[in-house]
Structure 1
Amino acid sequence: MANLPPLRLLLTFDAVCRLGSMQRAAQSLNVTPPAVTQAIRALEQEIGVCLLDRSAKPAVPTEAGERISRAVRNGFALIEDTIAETRHAAGVSDHQLTLCCTLGFATYWLMPRLSDFYARHPDITVNVQAPPSDQPVLSTGLDVAFRYGRGDWTDGRTWKLFDERACPVARPDVLAEARKAGELEEAVLIDVRLGSPHLWDSWSDYFAQRQIRRSGRPGHTFDNYVQAVQAALDGRGVMLGWQSITRKLVDDGALAAWPEGVHDFGTAYFVTCSHGALKKKAAKAFVDWVRQQPAH
């Protein structure tokens, strides 16, 4: 055991390999990118070999790095399974679960529905985490993850919940004024820029797929959908609203949708249950419940 590197370094290296970049690893671990870089270099010094090929962008594991990554992942999986089995044997885990999702999904989709789950399962406690990463991962200690994409995860069993679509939305008076003034591309736009631009479609993708030329008019940019929604409610412009987040606000009249503006990017929301959590009564009950929930 004395020859093992510090656990912190192994955790950081595992995050880089799982998530595919140091930037995403930093977001997942809630540290700065330089801290991740420093940890990887420290691990390489501890082991005495280069673990990442930095000539690639983003960096990829070397052959030695792949071996270390597999060993670390298998070791963590064994620890996680052993803890889950121990908790299960003690009857502790049957009545609680921990899930992760984005801040926007938690605020506008999950939390308004969660009281119904508690009414049906008063003996179960649900712990909700909204990590800084815009793509939640099933790290150690997490049972369930809500994720947006195309369902190609392998860290548990995944079920599709609903197709996700986007539509420009704004406060009714702002939207009416924008329509009176001209076309959508001329409006003041509220944009959200997250850590994975390849994952979350933006105004640029919306205009490109609908063959609309975007104007160069200045707008507002935020790094999460809760801030963007509040800006739209404050009348600061038109945001590209994902229906899981903005549909109820539109139905309630707080926001209005741009006519014929709904667009399908071919993506959906999914729920993934970790392999270890599949044995837990609480996780099974939660997944069964959430799969019965309406999309909007």
Structure 2
Amino acid sequence: MSRLPPLRLLTTFETVSRLGSMREAATRLNVTQPAVTQALKALEEHVGAPLIDRTTRPARLTEAGQQLARATRDGLDLIADTIEEIRISAGLEEQRLTVACTIGMATYWLMPRLTDFYARYPDVMVNVQVPPTDLPAISQGTDLVLRYGAGNWNDGETTKLFDETVCPVGRPALVERLLASGEGLAQAPLIHVRSTETRHWAGWSDYLTLRGLGKPGSAGQTFDNYVQAVQATLDTRGLMLGWYSITDGLVTDGSLVHWPEGALDLGTGYYATVNPNGAQKAAVKAFVRWLGDMRLALETP
């Protein structure tokens, strides 16, 4: 015999114990009173002890009945609460999405703009993940990735957000001093970003070679991510290669300035790729619409 009786018997017993009347329980359960009596007898047979004292009028719970009533009530309440939590969670899942991108993209492009997204979609929660690689991949639990490159990915529907350009940037006073002294970029103090996870981004050697300016004149300072490089640049420790996705906001507010006529288009851009498994989620659709608005805003002079 199973340790647990059928749930039907327990719900009938709980209704009887709560209402204190088989007749009222039958009405509440929309069954006949004999059906309630039969269910109680079946439950007593399963338990092996009388649960109802039928010698009294009205019938009352025995001590065993009182024990089982407390346990049944607690158990059914826990089941009801759990079901409600699952329902809420299932509803929230539709209003949640996870975006993966580089730490530089997250810090300087995405996070400052999320205020606008939340203003439009206050019920949607965006979880931003920053994996160690500079090319985040579509993976389980990731709804959308923002990546730099040529856009030749086939792991989901991919849309270009903006063309990415690179230009040396620095503190206004430092750039002004370097220009006044006649020092070229190759002789300027340079800030490098080098790590096994930034291999898809051009460095100073690539930039200077493409501009026909030779090799860097000094080793400069090297960091393993763009957040540290930006801080060093703000501390006037040198010039860094500024990417639109990372330094545009700082140039706009005047914290940094571009090196005159230093912009270089490498034919790359930033792209959004949607995980096919989450493309129909309400939150993902909202985020994709918002990204489209951001793209249009960037294209509008």
TM normalised by structure 2 equals 0.67
Match of 1:240 in 2: 241
d(CA) in 2 for partners of 1:288, 1:185: 43
The residue identity in structure 2 corresponding to 1:134 is: D
The residue identity in structure 2 corresponding to 1:152 is: N
1:138-177 correspondence runs (5 A): 138-177=138-177
Unaligned runs of 5+ in 2: 1-85
Give 1 or 2 for the bigger CA radius of gyration: 2
Match of 1:124 in 2: 124
d(CA) in 2 for partners of 1:100, 1:197: 16
Match of 1:58 in 2: none
Asked whether the 8 Å contact 1:134–1:195 carries over to 2, the reply is: no
The residue identity in structure 2 corresponding to 1:219 is: G
The residue identity in structure 1 corresponding to 2:161 is: L
| 2:224 paired with 1:223 | yes
SS of the residue 1:276 aligns to: helix
Match of 1:190 in 2: 191
Match of 1:270 in 2: 271
d(CA) in 2 for partners of 1:100, 1:194: 19
Return structure 1 stretches of 4+ with deviation > 4 angstroms: none
Q: CA deviation at 1:275?
A: 0.3
Asked whether the 8 Å contact 1:244–1:295 carries over to 2, the reply is: no
d(CA) in 2 for partners of 1:127, 1:249: 24
d(CA) in 2 for partners of 1:230, 1:186: 21
Q: Deviations over 1:138-188 (max 9, x none)?
A: 111000100000111111111001000000000011111222231111101
The residue identity in structure 2 corresponding to 1:281 is: A
Asked whether the 8 Å contact 2:159–2:272 carries over to 1, the reply is: yes
SS of the residue 1:118 aligns to: helix
Q: In 2 relative to 1, CA 190–124 (structure 1 residues): closer, same or farther, beyond 3 Å?
A: same
Q: CA deviation at 1:240?
A: 0.4
Q: Deviations over 1:71-125 (max 9, x none)?
A: xxxxxxxxxxxxxxx99x9434211001111111111101111011111111111
Match of 2:60 in 1: none
Unaligned runs of 5+ in 1: 1-85
1:101-120 correspondence runs (5 A): 101-120=101-120
Q: How many residues align?
A: 211
1:74-113 correspondence runs (5 A): 90-113=90-113
The residue identity in structure 2 corresponding to 1:163 is: D
The residue identity in structure 2 corresponding to 1:195 is: T
d(CA) in 2 for partners of 1:119, 1:195: 37
SS of the residue 2:132 aligns to: coil
Q: CA deviation at 1:134?
A: 1.4
Asked whether the 8 Å contact 1:168–1:262 carries over to 2, the reply is: yes
d(CA) in 2 for partners of 1:158, 1:231: 34
d(CA) in 1 for partners of 2:206, 2:110: 27
d(CA) in 2 for partners of 1:125, 1:90: 14
Match of 1:214 in 2: 215
Q: CA deviation at 1:194?
A: 3.2
Asked whether the 8 Å contact 2:188–2:217 carries over to 1, the reply is: no
d(CA) in 2 for partners of 1:150, 1:91: 36
The residue identity in structure 2 corresponding to 1:95 is: Q
d(CA) in 1 for partners of 2:208, 2:92: 50
SS of the residue 1:207 aligns to: helix
- Greater displacement, 129-138 / 188-197: 188-197
SS of the residue 1:98 aligns to: strand
Q: Deviations over 1:239-291 (max 9, x none)?
A: 00001211121121111110000000110000011001111010011011012
SS of the residue 1:292 aligns to: helix
TM normalised by structure 1 equals 0.68
Match of 1:135 in 2: 135
Q: Report % sequence identity.
A: 52
d(CA) in 2 for partners of 1:210, 1:130: 32
Match of 2:282 in 1: 281
The residue identity in structure 2 corresponding to 1:138 is: I
d(CA) in 2 for partners of 1:191, 1:223: 8
Asked whether the 8 Å contact 1:194–1:200 carries over to 2, the reply is: no
